[in-house]
Amino acid sequence: AQKVTQAQTEISVVEKEDVTLDCVYETRDTTYYLFWYKQPPSGELVFLIRRNSFDEQNEISGRYSWNFQKSTSSFNFTITASQVVDSAVYFCALSEGSSGNTPLVFGKGTRLSVIA
């Protein structure tokens, strides 16, 4: 069965600090997809990134970067030079199987607070 663990329940950083959100997953499939979603205080869920199990390249998008390591079953998310607007709950999620249509299983989320 698939499982996603976000061990950090809450993180608080001062603005401009770098912060890494951890995500560890479990799956028996060799084909799977990993996601990160952001939920700001307004409550909506915003898609950030999707990565398939065959693509271990790290990805950078502005201040955001993702480190995917199959050897440790981790898909960590780093925010560089954090800003107050980054304050949100961040969810890591997994969909397993080659069909890709297994519903997403989410981690419990990490609440990030960026203090000015």
Q: Write the interaction track for another protein spanning residues 79-108; mark x where CB under 8 A is met and - where it is not.
A: ------------x-x-x---xxx-xxxxxx
Q: How far is the CB of 15 from another protein (least distance, A)?
A: 26
Alpha carbon 45 to chain centroid, angstroms? 13
Task: Tell whether residue 41 is a contact of another protein (CB under 8 A).
Answer: no
Alpha carbon 113 to chain centroid, angstroms? 16
Residues numbered 51 to 80 that lie near another protein (CB under 8 A) are 52
Strand partners, 92: 36
Task: Tell whether residue 45 is a contact of another protein (CB under 8 A).
Answer: yes
With contacts defined by CB under 8 A, name the span among 12-20, 45-53, 58-66, 80-88 that binds another protein: 45-53
Dig out the tokens for 76 from the structure: 């960590």
Element (H, E) at 50: strand 46-52
| Residue whose token pair is 């996603």 | 4
Q: DSSP assignment, residue 72?
A: G
Q: Which residue lies nearer to another protein by CB, 11 or 105?
A: 105
